[in-house]
Structure 1
Amino acid sequence: MIKSMTGFSRKEAIIGNKKITIEMKTVNHRFLEVVFKMPKELMVFEDRLKKILQHYIKRGRIDIIITIEANHLSQRLNIDWDLADQYIQLLKELKERFQLAGNVEIKDFLLIPDLISQDVEINDLEDKEEEFFELFAETCRALFDMRQLEGTVLSNDFLSRLNHIEKVLQKVEIKAPLVVKEYREKLLIRVNEWLNGVVEIDEARLLNEVAFFADKANIDEEITRLKSHIEQFRLNLTIEEPVGRKLDFLVQEMNREVNTIGSKANDLELSQYVIELKSELEKIREQVQNVE
């Protein structure tokens, strides 16, 4: 079954004395693009995390956010004393240069970015790496399940629209031969009007003109190819591997056949059917962009 490229998952667990939260969000993309946002101490695991992810996700952009929260026993606050000294020195210079009044208070220091930081020690993860990787894999599986569920919804929508396209195509098949017959009748009426019964109609030339029109307006090949593309599309919906690009190609081919039918359609009713076909294909094309 096809899978959507849109999904979200979030898992958290206590590993050692740390609370680890992993969030994954995916959107459509031509290829597989993985973006990590996590503590620099975890960067050493990036290659292995990507390998785990690639077992579940083949295509799309994946934003992964990993956060670590320590309990109160392992939290440690740091002050950047050099930054504080510079701040005080600059304030003194400002006061002297511009003869300013006022004193520096604690609240002023709290407004200084990066003056106070919190360390999160992750050394105790070294002997619990497998628990961390299992949490990551569990998050991947949840993301996979959501993408697969949405893929089922997309598949059902595609099948419904393909069925509608086939019904319209049946109407096209019924109408197409009648267009030639109607053209012959209209041509005969016009010729009679022109000649006004003075000159006898050349039946052979009339038949040649009708035959030329029939050949030019023939859409049998386009209908045959369109039916084949529809069957290929249905078949690809049942394949387990990523088929988003194949489906996108098939929609392009179906659009090409419908456009050709439209260019040959010398009939108002056929033109209306073509518009209906193109409308359904456009809706499919928009959704196909989100298939893995």
Structure 2
Amino acid sequence: MVYSMTGFGHAEAADENWSVKVEAKAVNHRFLDIHIRLSRNYQQLEETFRQLVTTGIQRGRIELSVNIKELSEQNRIVKIDRGLLAGLYRQWQELQGELPLPDLTFDHIFQIPDLVKIEEPEIDWEPLTKLAVQAG
């Protein structure tokens, strides 16, 4: 068990789906003070990293920066509100008859709130947690 330390380190682990990179900075401190920077999507792993630190270090200020990257193409679901798009298109065509408006482009369409929704697939936490432990 390390009682106190000052230093820097990094580690990484990867499989066919994920890459996990961890950078750690530690400075002497009277108590154990852990700060973990982790993307909001992966906050579920924060406790795993916190436990890894507490099992090996008793005191110090520890800053972990965790970078998780998805390597595989996940099957994201893209949904377009066709009714909303059709209604907007009809309105646009009517307005084009009255005003000198340009044709609609994808740039215009994708700026319309709630028209396009992308659903992320559910994360399989077990293999990702194993990689986090390897990298941590």
TM-score, normalised to structure 1, is 0.32
Aligned residues: 127
Which structure 1 residue ranges, 4+ long, deviate > 6 Å from structure 2? 111-114
Relative to structure 1, the CA distance from residue 85 to residue 122 in structure 2 (aligned partners, 3 Å threshold; closer, same or farther) is: same
Q: Is the 8 A contact 1:25 1:63 kept in 2?
A: yes
d(CA) in 2 for partners of 1:77, 1:19: 16
Identity value in percent: 10
User: Runs of 5+ in structure 1 lacking a partner?
Assistant: 138-292
Q: The residue matched to 1:76 in structure 2 has which SS?
A: coil
Relative to structure 1, the CA distance from residue 108 to residue 25 in structure 2 (aligned partners, 3 Å threshold; closer, same or farther) is: farther
Q: Is the 8 A contact 2:26 2:60 kept in 1?
A: no
Structure 1 residues 207-246: aligned runs within 5 Å: none
Relative to structure 1, the CA distance from residue 36 to residue 57 in structure 2 (aligned partners, 3 Å threshold; closer, same or farther) is: farther
One-letter code of the match for 1:21? V
User: Relative to total residues, which structure has the larger strand share, 1 or 2?
Assistant: 2
**Once the two structures are superposed, what CA deviation does each residue of 1:257-278 show, in whole Å capped at 9, x if it has no partner?**
xxxxxxxxxxxxxxxxxxxxxx
Shift of the alpha carbon at 1:24? 2.3
d(CA) in 2 for partners of 1:113, 1:35: 33
Considering only aligned residues, what root-mean-square deviation do their CA atoms show, in Å? 4.4
d(CA) in 2 for partners of 1:27, 1:80: 45
Structure 1 residues 108-147: aligned runs within 5 Å: 108-109=108-109, 115=116, 117=118, 119-123=120-124, 125-126=125-126, 128=127, 131-137=130-136
Q: Aligned residue for 2:46?
A: 46
Structure number, greater radius of gyration:
1
User: Runs of 5+ in structure 2 lacking a partner?
Assistant: none
Structure 1 residues 93-112: aligned runs within 5 Å: 96=95, 99-109=99-109
**Once the two structures are superposed, what CA deviation does each residue of 1:146-182 show, in whole Å capped at 9, x if it has no partner?**
xxxxxxxxxxxxxxxxxxxxxxxxxxxxxxxxxxxxx
* Equivalent position to 2:6, from 4, 7, 25: 4
d(CA) in 1 for partners of 2:121, 2:69: 8
